[in-house]
C-alpha cells in the first residue's frame, strides 16, 4: 500500500493502477483478502475501466489538438521566415540601388570640391591682379585729374 501511495503522489499512471487494484482487492493490514470484496470489486471494476478509457480518450483528443496547434505554429513560422527572406531580397535590391546613387553623389561632391580647390585660388589670384590694375588705374586717373586742374 505504501508503494502505491507514493506512486500516486508522484502522479505516475501505473501508480494509479496499483491504487485501483488495492481498492478492488481491499488488501487489509493482515494481508487477508475477503472473497466478498473480490466479487463486489468485480462489479465496481467496470466503472473504473470506463473512467480510465474516458480519461485515455480525453488525453488522445488533447494530444491531437496540441499536435494540430504545433503544426499550425510550425507552418506560421515557416511562412514568417519566407516573408523575411523575401523582404531581405527586396531590401538588398533597394539598398544596392541606394548605394549606387550615394556613390554617384559622392563622386559629384568630390569633383565639385576638386574643381573649387583649383578654381578658387586662380580666382583669388585673378581678383588680386584685377584689384592691383584697378588701384593703378584709379591712381593714374587721380594724377591726371590733378594735372588737368
In this prediction, residue 142 carries a pLDDT of: 86
Whether 131 is covered by a domain: the verdict is yes
For 50, the domain range is 34-148
Report if residue 71 sits inside a domain: yes
Among 12-16, 102-106, 127-131, the range scoring the smallest mean pLDDT is: 12-16
Instruction: Give 34's pLDDT tier (boundaries 50, 70, 90).
Output: very low
In a domain? residue 114:
yes
Tell me whether residue 18 is exposed, middle or buried, using C-beta atoms within 10 angstroms of its C-beta: 0 to 12, 13 to 18, 19 or more.
Answer: middle
Contact 16, 8 (CB under 8 A): yes
pLDDT in tens, 41-92: 445 567 778 888 889 999 999 999 999 999 999 999 999 999 999 999 999 9
* Residue at 11 is within a domain: no
More confident residue, 103 or 23: 103
* Residue 23 resides in a domain: no
Cβ(38)–Cβ(47) under 8 Å? no
In-domain check, residue 137: yes
Instruction: Work out the mean pLDDT of the chain and round it to a whole number.
Output: 77
Residue 8 lies in a domain: no
Amino acid at each position: 500500500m505504501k508503494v502505491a501511495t507514493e506512486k500516486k503522489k508522484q502522479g505516475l499512471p501505473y501508480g494509479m493502477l496499483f491504487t485501483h487494484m488495492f481498492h478492488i482487492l481491499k488488501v487489509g493490514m493482515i494481508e487477508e483478502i475477503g472473497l466478498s470484496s473480490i466479487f463486489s470489486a468485480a462489479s465496481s471494476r467496470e466503472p473504473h475501466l470506463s473512467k480510465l478509457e474516458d480519461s485515455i480518450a480525453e488525453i488522445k483528443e488533447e494530444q491531437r489538438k496540441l499536435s494540430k496547434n504545433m503544426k499550425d505554429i510550425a507552418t506560421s513560422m515557416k511562412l514568417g521566415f519566407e516573408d523575411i527572406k523575401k523582404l531581405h531580397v527586396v531590401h538588398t535590391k533597394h539598398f544596392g540601388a541606394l548605394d549606387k546613387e550615394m556613390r554617384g553623389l559622392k563622386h559629384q561632391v568630390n569633383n565639385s570640391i576638386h574643381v573649387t580647390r583649383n578654381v578658387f585660388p586662380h580666382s583669388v589670384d585673378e581678383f588680386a591682379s584685377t584689384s592691383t590694375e584697378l588701384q593703378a588705374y584709379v591712381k593714374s586717373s587721380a594724377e591726371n585729374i590733378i594735372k588737368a586742374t
